């Protein structure tokens, strides 16, 4: 088996394992939970397909991407000049160091 075929096979196996784990979690472990039992792959995939076929899904995707890009634009517009200022002015860096170090402890996912 070539290296490329092996990589594709592993990716498909991992995807299958993730879907099986998703099914196991929602269909077996939490099958008595009325909310989680409705979020398994057997319910989610047909709902996604119908949402995209109806045309509503693409509008939602556009809205989410617009919000994401707006947030990234604000981050770049504010972050780049602030980063340059912090990197070029030692006094400003030392004055803001406690705040920056505190913010560094906050999880990026939060």
3, 81, 92, 95, 100 from 103: Cα distances, Å: 43, 18, 16, 14, 5
Q: Give the span between the Cα atoms of 81 and 11, in whole angstroms.
A: 40
Q: Is the pLDDT of residue 62 over 70?
A: yes
- Top-confidence residue, 110 or 79: 79
- On whether the CB atoms of residues 82 and 99 are closer than 8 A, the answer is no
pTM of the model: 0.56
CB 39 within 8 A of CB 24: no
The per-residue pLDDT of the chain, averaged, comes to 91
Share of the chain above pLDDT 90, in %: 65
List the chain domain ranges.
Answer: 1-54, 58-110
Query: Pick from 81, 91, 90, 86: which is nearest to 104 by CA?
Result: 86
**Cα atoms in the 13 Å half-sphere on the side-chain side of 86:** 15
Q: Mind listing the pLDDT tens digit for each residue in 23-52?
A: 999 999 998 999 988 999 999 999 989 988
99: which residues sit within 8 A by CB, 6+ positions away?
none
| Reported confidence tier of residue 110, pLDDT bands at 50, 70, 90 | low
């Amino acid at each position: 088996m070539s290296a490329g075929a092996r990589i594709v096979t592993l990716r498909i196996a991992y995807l299958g394992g993730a879907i099986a784990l998703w099914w196991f979690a929602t269909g077996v472990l939490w099958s008595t939970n009325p909310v989680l039992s409705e979020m398994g792959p057997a319910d989610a995939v047909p709902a996604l397909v119908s949402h995209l076929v109806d045309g509503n899904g693409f509008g939602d995707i556009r809205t989410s991407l617009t919000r994401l890009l707006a947030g990234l634009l604000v981050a770049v517009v504010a972050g780049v000049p602030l980063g340059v200022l912090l990197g070029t002015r030692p006094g400003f860096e030392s004055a803001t160091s406690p705040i920056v170090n505190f913010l560094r402890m906050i999880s990026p996912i939060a």
